[in-house]
Amino acid sequence: MPEWTKSTSQPTKVSLLLFDQFSNLCLANCIEPLRAANMQGDGQVFDWSILSPDGAACRSSSGLEVLAQAELSSLKATDYLFVMASYGHDRHDAPNTRRLLRAAARKADRIVGLDAGPWLLASAGLLDGRRATVHWDLLDAFTERFLAVEVERARVVKDGQIVTCAGAMSALDLTLDLISDHLGMAARLEIEALFLHGDPPVGQAQPARLSDPLVHRALQLMRDSVEKPMPLTQLARALSCQPRTLDRRFRARLGASPGKVYRHLRLAAARKLIEDSPLGMAEIAVRCGYDSPAALTRAIGQRYGVTPRMLRRG
């Protein structure tokens, strides 16, 4: 069963290895949720650094230059090594790259290949005997080239200490999973709300942990009714299920009761309004379903350990 909240004693180290022609969107979908997790959490939860094979700046596929903080050979022990390559991956597939990746893999607890990154990991022999995916444009060539890899057409594949990801949009799913692994499902829902609004596009799969259609529809109803929260019996009727069924499915998927999740979503909405809008507390309390500013202030203090004024000051 997933955990609703978790605490961490020290920052999780994430090392992002960029190759020229990497995807801006892929990088943003990894870093921005981690940044949001640091802002929502207590202190520095994730500590990331940018690497390149030789320590030089890297240019993305759109020409954006990103400065590296170190070269790959200087990598210290890290919790995660993200390998990010996109266009022109074949030019990077050289003996020196394979040697560097094999050495770096020994210093990482987990290795994550994104977009065309799994191609470089497979070429270094790091995916032999494992299940993996790659950007779907490369899937056929990847299957033919790396016979020792069990290739899957999937958004994200986890096999032991190695995770592979099909592309930029899947990178957001992967990073949200990482956040829930370290901080719990409450943090995931709060951060997800910053990046995802409304229902997913038709045909887009839900992340595995939220794939329960009933839970997904319930979360959408909760978000849509933040201003006028529905009693849980009414929510269950709207979903054509029994309250106990809703409770069981929420606990199985999110590790918390529907009532607890509902309160969390309302407080997350209130926090966003406090931090990002000039609205007064009376208006925010009304918009988030609280009887008074005092009730909202108490709830924020219990949940976040700060006052609304402290949140507004950043």
Same domain, 16 and 99: yes
Q: Is residue 187 part of a domain?
A: no
Q: For the whole model, what pTM was predicted?
A: 0.83
CA distance to 29, 227, 271, per residue, from 139 (Å): 22, 46, 42
The answer as to whether 91 is a domain residue is yes
pLDDT average, residue stretch 244-254: 95
Collapsed DSSP state (helix, strand, coil) of residue 76: coil
Q: What is the pLDDT of residues 108-165, one digit of tens each?
A: 999 999 999 999 999 999 999 999 999 999 999 999 999 999 999 999 999 999 999 9
Q: Which amino acid, 185?
A: M
In angstroms, the Cα distances linking 38 to 34, 81, 187, 276, 300 are 6, 19, 10, 17, 18
How many domains does the chain divide into? 2
Is 193 a domain residue?
A: no
CATH number, residue 23:
3.40.50.880
Distance CA 212, CA 114 (A): 26
Note whether 29 and 96 are same-domain residues.
yes
Is residue 104 located within the same domain as residue 234? no
Q: What is the 3-state secondary structure (H, E, C) of 132-201?
A: ECCCHHHHHHHHHHCCCCEECCCCEEEECCEEEECCHHHHHHHHHHHHHHHHCHHHHHHHHHHHCCCCCC
Question: Is pLDDT above 60 for 250?
Answer: yes
Q: Identify whether residues 175 and 216 lie together within a single domain.
A: no
- For residue 256, the model assigns a pLDDT of 95
Q: Are residues 40 and 132 in the same domain?
A: yes
Residue whose structure tokens are 């993305």: 60
State pLDDT tens for residues 163-190: 999 989 899 999 999 999 999 999 999 8
Q: Domain limits at 278?
A: 212-314
Query: Are 243 and 114 within one domain?
Result: no
